[in-house]
């Protein structure tokens, strides 16, 4: 959180690296700073933006799950904890033998070598529901996948929760389990009456909703999006660089500059007659009606260059 930002500036942020590099550094860190006997977490960490809470994953402490992989494959146990940073669950009866350093010993521990709870990936468990029929026989329903739908207020959790259904079986709902410890009011809780008391009502649109000085705290007046001036870097990005000219290009441009400016004038009557004669001669020689129709259509199309030339002629006449 916010309290150790200064320290983080000088750390390598592993989470921002590409997956491969991240794994590499993780392995290196584990190898360098932990003794081989005290192995750290082996499951890869998930970058913070991709993490999901246990509610989003549809799993909660107290749930029954069916283990699909590993030593305890095929058994149904209950969940203790879901770890969002590894997407892993801690379930009952799944442990591993570990050598623990003395600093982590708990009460009544006599040996370094203990059964230690083992995190297993969330992908290797499936949510199970317990069902008891009329004769008292217990059966389990294992959901291959679950979907979260709707929302309802769960008083046990004191929050809004989605409902969990077995995928493609909208009638089979797996309710959320009872929370391991009941939620009770603590010193940070606000009494219900105080929360529900309404102290704001819009009475006037002529006055701002809060003092003017508070607005700067809500909107950053120095935001870079509000700046009307581009920085040098931004300006460079927007404009393409000026390319240097080759020697040939320079010679060509110098020649062009020396040439007299082209003057546009109207065609003389003689030339007009000559062109007209030529075209008439050609058109009269054509016998095919389709070709004539084609030429007729072609004569109606306008050429932008022709328009430009006519404008140039007009300008030229004006200047003269």
Q: Note the residues at the interface with other proteins (CB under 8 A).
A: 1-4, 158-159, 183-190, 195-200, 203-211, 214-215, 217-219
Measured CA to CA, the distance from residue 66 to residue 83 in angstroms comes to 18
Would you say 80 and 63 are in contact if contact means Cβ atoms under 8 Å apart? no
Q: How far is the CB of 11 from other proteins (least distance, A)?
A: 14
Q: How far is the CB of 92 from other proteins (least distance, A)?
A: 21
In terms of CB distance, is 43 or 313 closer to other proteins?
A: 43
Shorter beta-carbon distance to other proteins: residue 136 or 211: 211
Q: Closest Cα to residue 113, out of 98, 102, 95, 93?
A: 98
Record the tokens describing residue 166, joined without a space: 């077995």
CB closer to other proteins out of 11 and 190: 190
**Least gap, CB of 188 to other proteins (angstroms):** 5
**Rounded least distance, CB 46 to other proteins, Å:** 16
Determine which helix (DSSP H) or strand (DSSP E) holds 194, and give its type and residue range. Answer: helix 192-196
What is the distance between the terminal CA atoms of the chain, rounded to a whole angstrom? 78
- Of 108 and 199, CB closest to other proteins: 199
- Of 25 and 183, CB closest to other proteins: 183
Q: Provide the minimum distance between the beta carbon of 54 and other proteins in the complex, in angstroms, as a whole number.
A: 13
Token duo for residue 211: 């003092």
Alpha-carbon gap, residue 172 to 181, rounded angstroms: 26
- For other proteins, the closer CB: 197 or 242: 197
Tokens of 216: 């700067």
160 versus 274: smaller Cβ distance to other proteins: 160
Specify the residue, 168 or 212, whose C-beta has the smaller distance to other proteins: 212
Closest contact distance (angstroms) between CB of 213 and other proteins is 12
Q: Which long-range contacts (CB under 8 A, 24 or more apart) does 88-91 make?
A: 88/43, 88/119, 88/120, 88/121, 88/122, 89/59, 89/65, 89/119, 89/120, 89/121, 89/122, 89/125, 90/117, 90/118, 90/119, 91/65, 91/67, 91/120, 91/125
Q: Do the strands 88-99 and 125-132 form a parallel or antiparallel pair, or are they unpaired?
A: unpaired
Q: What is the dihedral of CA 76, 77, 81, 86, to 10 degrees?
A: -40
- Strand segments, DSSP code E, in the chain are 64-67, 76-83, 88-99, 113-121, 125-132, 138-142, 146-154, 159-166, 169-173
6 half-sphere exposure, CB direction, 13 A CA radius: 1
Task: Output the smallest distance, CB 2 to other proteins, in A.
Answer: 7
């Amino acid at each position: 959180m916010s309290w150790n930002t200064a320290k983080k500036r000088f750390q390598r942020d592993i989470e921002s690296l590409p997956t491969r590099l991240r794994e590499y550094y993780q392995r290196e860190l584990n190898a360098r700073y932990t003794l081989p006997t005290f192995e750290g977490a082996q499951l890869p960490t998930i970058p913070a933006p991709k993490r999901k809470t246990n509610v989003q994953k549809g799993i909660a402490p107290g749930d029954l799950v069916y283990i699909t992989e590993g030593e305890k494959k095929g058994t149904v146990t209950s969940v203790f904890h879901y770890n969002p940073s590894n997407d892993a669950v801690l379930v009952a009866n799944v442990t591993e033998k570990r050598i623990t350093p003395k600093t982590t010993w708990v009460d009544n521990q006599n040996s370094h070598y203990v059964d230690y709870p083992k995190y297993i990936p969330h992908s290797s468990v499936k949510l199970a529901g317990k069902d008891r029929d009329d004769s008292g026989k217990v059966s389990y329903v294992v959901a291959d996948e679950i979907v979260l739908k709707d929302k309802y207020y769960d008083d046990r959790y004191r929050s809004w929760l989605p409902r969990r259904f077995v995928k493609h079986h909208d009638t089979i709902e797996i309710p959320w389990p009872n929370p391991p410890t009941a939620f009770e009011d603590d010193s940070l809780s606000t009494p219900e009456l105080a929360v529900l008391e309404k102290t704001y009502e819009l009475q006037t649109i002529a006055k701002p909703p809060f003092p003017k000085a508070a607005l700067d705290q809500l909107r950053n007046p120095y935001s870079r999006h509000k700046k009307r001036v581009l920085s040098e870097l931004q300006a460079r990005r927007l404009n393409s660089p000026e390319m240097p000219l080759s020697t040939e290009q320079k010679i060509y441009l110098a020649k062009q500059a020396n040439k007299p400016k082209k003057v546009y004038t109207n065609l003389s009557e003689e030339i007009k007659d000559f062109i007209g004669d030529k075209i008439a001669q050609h058109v009269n020689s054509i016998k095919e009606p389709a070709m004539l129709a084609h030429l007729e259509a072609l004569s109606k199309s306008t050429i932008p260059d022709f328009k430009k030339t006519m404008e140039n002629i007009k300008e030229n006449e004006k200047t003269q």
